Amino acid sequence: MSLSHTALCSSLARPIKASSNGVPFTNPKSGGPAILEIPLDKIRRPLMRTRANDPQKVKELMESIQQIGLQVPIDVLEVEGVYYGFSGCHRFEAHQRLGLPTICCKVRRGTKETLRHHMR
Ligand code: ADP
């Protein structure tokens, strides 16, 4: 893993490790969104098959992420210990293609109702 890949999460906040069993968390100071490095395979992407990414955008992001690292975390929703990603699709795919194990995420907690709303 390159240094630039990890720089974002470590510079924005002391990263709180997302536990593999999905124990929930909040930003302990503000109670607001937390900035976390999360393994790609722990983020469910329910709408992935319905929306195609622009391959050129993904390619450009891969090059940029390799050079300067991820500059803006992707938004992730955490519901009952499970992470869901609905946006940040190009950044997510760029990480997958680069073979990076984790991605820096801005995590908000929600309820099952929030999740249903996102699935509509
Ligand atoms: P996504 O589907 O990931 O949101 P977009 O092409 O719509 O893809 O937007 C790319 C986003 O990635 C922009 O908000 C940009 O600020 C962000 N970004 C984060 N890191 C980088 C980077 N290293 N190079 C270019 N853009 C980056």
pLDDT tens digits for range 77-105: 999 999 999 999 999 999 999 999 999 99
Whether 107 has a pLDDT exceeding 70, the answer reads yes
pLDDT the model gives residue 120: 82
Higher pLDDT, 38 or 1: 38
Report how far apart, in Å, the C-alpha atoms of 44 and of each of 10, 48, 90, 115 are. 23, 9, 15, 12
pLDDT in tens, 3-37: 555 567 877 654 455 554 444 455 656 668 899 99
Query: E-assigned strands of the chain?
Result: 34-39, 43-44, 74-79, 82-85, 102-109
pLDDT the model gives residue 10: 72
> Which CATH number describes the domain made up of 5-119?
3.90.1530.10
**Percent of the chain at pLDDT exceeding 70:** 76
What pTM did the predictor assign? 0.84
pLDDT in tens, 61-84: 999 999 999 999 999 999 999 999
Residue 62 CB less than 6 A away from ligand 1 = no
**90 CA to centre of ligand 1 in angstroms:** 7
Of the residues 61, 64, 68, 92, which should be mutated to test ligand 1's pocket, given the most ligand atoms within 8 Å of the CB?
61
**82 CA to centre of ligand 1 in angstroms:** 24
Distance, CA of 95 to CA of 89 (rounded, Å): 10
Residue 45 CB less than 6 A away from ligand 1 = no
